[in-house]
A and B are shown apart, each in its own frame.
Chain A
């Protein structure tokens, strides 16, 4: 999906505004969980785009910041449950990073709930469905990404 389409979808106001959510899934647990949700035909909102990374710790804070700067309304990072990381301790790094990144987003003025970390294992298709459904609902309450609204005029 090109950047322009992303912005078109996301700047629409009112009832028909649909949030755009970037979901980072780790290769070993969450991506398989998302796959399971898919093959099980579990119904969920379609506002999210999945980006697969080898580990949730591969999600550089820069990826998240870039997603917001390009118009994403929410970013969801999914990884293996504690003690289940394929790389032993990747998810422990992730949870520290995301906690700090949420503090940073708050200082920028963003609602920190636009960034969420959740653990989804390969067998948790229904949890994937639930996480997406809840997150989309929450982002709809928070509203469109303020970066696109140009509330502060340039000069």
Chain B
């Protein structure tokens, strides 16, 4: 039997997804049994020109991890789309933008300026004429090129057509095994593949999977996980620790909660919800206790309670900003004072 070809590539990510694939232990031998690695920059030495030389559709399945943040990410994603029969959006960055997606709160120019002139470790701190990376540099030895950094971080499916999604930061071994099992069964026994667009995860929220004891949720204040002694048996939210469980897709096995840490939402929203952050914001606001003097409270008093949530954006959209409804930051023009109409 001819082996299938698999590839994995990293866009704007941290490399954790590549390691996650190796993390499936001895099952990797099963992968080697049915598949050859066509392209995987972190593990094998195939060059981009080798991929360009492959016939269209040559690669059976490509796992693309990382968001699309520069011209190279986009170029390789489009190239791999042409060369692959199946593309899997692998990991939170590819599916939802992930942590790099928070760069959508600023712009490419601001990011470069900060990194090259303002970080404490930069040589150019306070320099008169700071040097920035350029797309093209001409030297006497020849022209050098760097990818262009985009203003807006995009998800993989905002750039190319994607067949399957596997969220997680990184996807857990049980999800990877589940997918590899499907592929193996398809290759060996001709079993049908899941329908296009399928999400390789559960479609319930994490609370469904979490084994903590849940009773009535009523809180007075929120705390960071390190500020309180967390009872490992009791629901995080009931203890005032912001846990994104109610707004997050299950499938990961609630591993963070087993480790006594709140969920931060890397699995993204369920199919029914488009905006994970909005959904969590709504849930958190609802569990704040209604106080006896509620009718006398002004909107300022309420704001005082809600500002306990220090960074709503970073808390609720930690992994999903580029896939949210608004997608990136905006800039208001200054207000224009107008006379009242006569």
Contacts and interface: CB of A to CB of B under 8 A. Distances in A.
B152 interface: yes
A121 B275 CA distance: 31
B302 interface: yes
Interface in B118-157: 148, 150-152
Contact of A100 (B312, B324, B335, B336): B312
Interface stretch (B24-32, B200-208, B287-295): B287-295
Interface string A67-99: 011000000000000110000010011011101
B305 interface: yes
Nearest to A67: B325
A95 B304 CA distance: 12
A154 B150 contact: yes
Contacts, number: 129
Contact of A96 (B148, B305, B329): B305
A141 B337 contact: yes
Interface residues of A, number: 40
Interface in A20-67: 60-62, 64-66
Contacts of A65: 275, 278, 324-326
B299 interface: yes
A6 interface: no
Nearest to B74: A155
B331 A143 contact: no
A99 B302 contact: yes
Contacts of B338: 137, 140-141
Which 5 pairs, one residue from A and one from B, show the smallest C-beta to C-beta distance?
A61-B278, A96-B285, A97-B285, A146-B330, A107-B313
Interface in B276-333: 277-279, 281-282, 284-286, 288, 290, 294-295, 297, 299, 302-303, 305-307, 309, 311-313, 316, 324-333
Interface string A104-146: 1001111100000100000000000000000001001111001
A124 to B, nearest CB: 17
Contact of B335 (A99, A101, A143, A152): A143
A120 to B, nearest CB: 15
A11 to B, nearest CB: 14
Contact of A153 (B151, B331, B336): B151
Contacts of B332: 109-111, 142-143, 146
B302 A147 contact: no
B340 interface: yes
Which DSSP category, helix, strand, loop or mixed, fits chain A's interface?
helix
B286 A96 contact: yes
Nearest to A119: B299
Contacts of B302: 95-96, 99
B329 A108 contact: yes
A147 B326 contact: yes
A16 B294 CA distance: 43
A45 B3 CA distance: 69
Contact of B151 (A82, A110, A154): A154
Contacts of A62: 273-275, 278-279, 282, 325
14 contacts: A62-B325, A92-B294, A95-B302, A97-B282, A97-B285, A99-B305, A100-B285, A101-B281, A104-B277, A107-B313, A109-B332, A142-B332, A143-B333, A146-B330
A155 B336 contact: no
A141 B340 CA distance: 11
Contact of A104 (B294, B312, B333, B336): B312
Contacts of B277: 61, 104
A3 interface: no
